[in-house]
Structure 1
């Protein structure tokens, strides 16, 4: 009886083994092809290449281009980081990985950026595409135009997230080039790719490759990906001393094996790369986007409108600096401040001149930059200086599009700031604030310069910033060897 019962049991075990083998065989047959590519990020020199120009599925490496275009749109005034995006039903239907957005939900663009960069959220990527171009299809067309202008010659995008779609293909070479463009063209956003975690307003999300970021010395990004068709993909960047290497792997068999291979390639890159080399930044791709209601076309390498505006503002600020008399010494009345937003230099200066004429000569005026939101502070007039006023007028006339907003915002989480030191005199503190603002206009352009008197000196602070904005500004200043620390609300 026992012998008879053992036969079906054995048959059952054999059938299970056969089914298991059948399940495994297709996975082996469909394993994604391997491709690898390594460059010296400083000059783009190729240090390793294997199957790097074969068109393969890129998976979520796609989101590097999605984010590149979003950064481009923000820089050129198409959309703002705090603009609220209405989530479509189409975005909510994207499969994981996702943030879990709801149809009709409104969320600031900055949170969608974080979700796409850190968590690789597919619903966030689609929402970004729709916010910039109105539809995923139009956004994909813009992705392809940008890719072509970058020299990504073997890439075709069909969507913004990288999920497998017929014809959505790229190469290890092209994705490496894209990673390098991100690093050089948008350094102010690059820190997103090294964040272990990020607040997305919906919830805190964690980096998809935090293990490698923590374990490989010098690693600071960039993007991971996985689909069955692509395998495990990764574009990684690391810096050691003055050397920076970017390595890309397609077709990894697992997260661990992919990370091990990328670490091996990065090591190879650091061994091969010279300690010193002339940096050759990649040319920016041609830009085609919307500013206001119009469409502008800017050739590769041309100055961007936002950059041109910052250049003009710097010229105006320099003229203002030349027109100022030294501030009162400690113990005298603190000089009130005229506050204008970064787009309001022209009328701010005119207001200062009008106040000067009304109050009489021999009283200094300070012009500080801020953003929209609170009442205009009091102004003390400036000593009349014919040459300085002429240079201000000339700078203002060269920038006819500037427009004043006489408010400084403390809403929307702008209760943070940074301190850049304590100085013996108020004049010195204000001088350092102005010099620092001109040095780091990208992140300090919308902040309010403030000097706070302390028992041992005068603190030089930039205020009216978001927490993320203050963190980014401090990181960038520290990279320029300027000491600073963040100041929290209150």
Structure 2
């Protein structure tokens, strides 16, 4: 009898211990969720958003339009432009990209590229999605843009086309620049656009590891393979930004893109992202997929293409004039520690001069019905542009833009020169324009200055 009673007592004690553990687990789980929300609310760097990728409905947001440093989330736009160049046939995955001294000097994280070597476009892509390699980002930027500054202008231009109205890029990798800002909402739009516009290449974001020069690099995205449905996209970190993450999730017929910016640690960022996915994926639509982020209309594509240099543009060999890196920290500090110990102090980053630009330039209104239609097609893209000439050849248009810049370097310091092709009466012409004016007063003020210097000028709002 005693034995039976003792056995029963032990059983009850065990059940009590189990019950206590369960209650403690539930309590701590709730505490973590509440604590995580409180921590996010108290964190001045924090911003977050969850978007239904089928409908565009915002399921959750906090500080979604507040300016934040994107850090290596920047490479999402770098890759968007790489995918666009691949889709247009300008490059292939086998195209070899030269590495300049400027690119090779980028601090970790990197692929330890050497000046003078080449790397394929596909290796660049893998290097960006897994290692978040800064040297590879700069190399491809110089190849596609002719310079870091020009490529950054192209990135901002593309951001405007995609509706990312609060984003400005100053480099291709996300290393600190006080003028390089974005928002959680804009990053969500970019994540959706990558999936919608480049499904053929989007699969690269799910790469778990990449081997280069006999060294294996794992993906910094810790949620790949751990959270059901996560198929990318990108992490980011600098001391100024905190820990950032954009995640794409597709599961059970539902699809979301979630953004966390400004996490205190990689672990807390990942935990918060996992919680957002768990909470809001179930609220996503199960309807059919539809295009949420419109591609730019024909006129805008033409103007954007005019910004892309030809293949004869030389790749820089020296680093440009620079500013000190005051807030640099590698993508993943713990993993990069050994690498940092083996290199000299990071080379300072260049101070770019191109300010925020407006992407889409429609044909200038004329009596031509075709011109009016094209202008109407691009009228919703926003911004102001000035036109200074129309030439029979692109070389003449480019020369005129360069001469105009020399005449008014101050008033055009924030503008980007572009050319745009159009036909009239069976003859091809090339408009010479400056893009990047944020208001009517800016654009007309620039024209007034140019007219004083005997340069014809016309300003128009998009």
TM-score by length of 1: 0.52
SS in structure 2 at match of 1:183: helix
Does 2:164 correspond to 1:152? Answer: yes
Per the alignment, residue 132 of structure 1 pairs with: 144
Does 2:239 correspond to 1:236? Answer: no
Q: Which of 253, 262, 265 is the matching residue for 1:251?
A: 262
Q: Distance in 1 between matches of 2:206 and 2:128?
A: 13
Structure 1: unaligned runs, 5 residues or longer: 1-29, 301-490
CA RMSD of aligned residues (A): 2.4
Q: Distance in 2 between matches of 1:234 and 1:135?
A: 28
Shift in alpha-carbon separation, 1:231–1:32, aligned structure 2, 3 A: farther
Per the alignment, residue 118 of structure 2 pairs with: 106
Per the alignment, residue 290 of structure 2 pairs with: 279
Per the alignment, residue 79 of structure 2 pairs with: 67
Per the alignment, residue 263 of structure 1 pairs with: 274
Which range moved further: 59-68 or 31-40?
31-40
Q: Which of 181, 199, 212 is the matching residue for 2:223?
A: 212
Q: Distance in 2 between matches of 1:161 and 1:291?
A: 20
Q: Is the 8 A contact 1:76 1:291 kept in 2?
A: no
Shift in alpha-carbon separation, 1:274–1:86, aligned structure 2, 3 A: closer
Residue 45 of structure 1 deviates from its aligned partner by 1.2
Does 2:206 correspond to 1:194? Answer: yes
Q: Is the 8 A contact 1:119 1:206 kept in 2?
A: yes
- The structure showing larger relative contact order (alpha-carbon pairs under 8 Å, at least 6 residues apart) is 2
Shift in alpha-carbon separation, 1:76–1:182, aligned structure 2, 3 A: same
Q: Which of 179, 198, 210 is the matching residue for 1:167?
A: 179
Q: Distance in 1 between matches of 2:102 and 2:224?
A: 33
Q: Is the 8 A contact 1:236 1:248 kept in 2?
A: yes
Q: Is the 8 A contact 1:78 1:292 kept in 2?
A: no
Residue 76 of structure 1 deviates from its aligned partner by 1.3
Residue 279 of structure 1 deviates from its aligned partner by 2.6
Q: Distance in 1 between matches of 2:44 and 2:241?
A: 6
Q: Distance in 2 between matches of 1:228 and 1:31?
A: 14
Structure 2: unaligned runs, 5 residues or longer: 1-41, 313-358, 363-462
Count of residue pairs the alignment pairs up: 269
Q: Which of 127, 143, 158 is the matching residue for 1:115?
A: 127
SS in structure 1 at match of 2:290: coil
Q: Distance in 1 between matches of 2:215 and 2:203?
A: 20
* CA displacement, residues 362-408 of structure 1 (integer Å, 9 cap, x when unaligned): xxxxxxxxxxxxxxxxxxxxxxxxxxxxxxxxxxxxxxxxxxxxxxx
Per the alignment, residue 46 of structure 2 pairs with: 34
Residue 146 of structure 1 deviates from its aligned partner by 0.3
Per the alignment, residue 78 of structure 1 pairs with: 90
Per the alignment, residue 95 of structure 1 pairs with: 107
Q: Distance in 1 between matches of 2:89 and 2:286?
A: 39
Q: Is the 8 A contact 1:82 1:109 kept in 2?
A: yes
Per the alignment, residue 356 of structure 1 pairs with: none
* 1:1-16 paired onto structure 2 within 5 Å: none
Residue 277 of structure 1 deviates from its aligned partner by 5.1
Q: Distance in 2 between matches of 1:228 and 1:115?
A: 22
Residue 299 of structure 1 deviates from its aligned partner by 8.3
Shift in alpha-carbon separation, 1:202–1:284, aligned structure 2, 3 A: farther
Per the alignment, residue 414 of structure 2 pairs with: none
Shift in alpha-carbon separation, 1:265–1:31, aligned structure 2, 3 A: closer
Residue 276 of structure 1 deviates from its aligned partner by 2.7
